[in-house]
Amino acid sequence: MSVLDTKRDAIVLDGSASNTLRLKPLGKPTFVSTPNIVGLTSTAAIAALATADLLPGTITLSHGSVASQWPTVSTQVGAFSTVDFTLTS
């Protein structure tokens, strides 16, 4: 499970420093395209979202691979918006 640590401006994937994603400060609003995370593991999906300057939103189930996401692929959203996804069981 990922946790947003606002004191460190980071997303901690599993509690270890090696699996921490740092958030980038922005000077002005930026729009980014949502990546395709369907088929990825939750860890890989969260990493792909971070690379695209997005954050994980509601994650349904806790294991398996991503079965669906919202917003859908290539939707333009504000940087650091959340992307919800559902994992297969």
Instruction: List pLDDT tens digits, range 27-42.
Output: 566 889 999 999 999 8
Write down the H helix ranges in the chain.
42-51
The four Cα atoms 72, 74, 78, 81 give a dihedral, to 10 degrees, of 40
For 61, other C-beta atoms within 10 Å of its C-beta total 13
Domains and CATH numbers, the chain: 3-87 (3.30.10.20)
pLDDT digits (tens, 9 = 90+) for 21-80: 555 555 566 889 999 999 999 889 999 999 999 999 988 876 789 999 999 999 999 988
* pLDDT value, residue 12: 52
* pLDDT value, residue 23: 56
Residue 70, H or E segment? strand 66-70
* pLDDT above 90: residue 82: yes
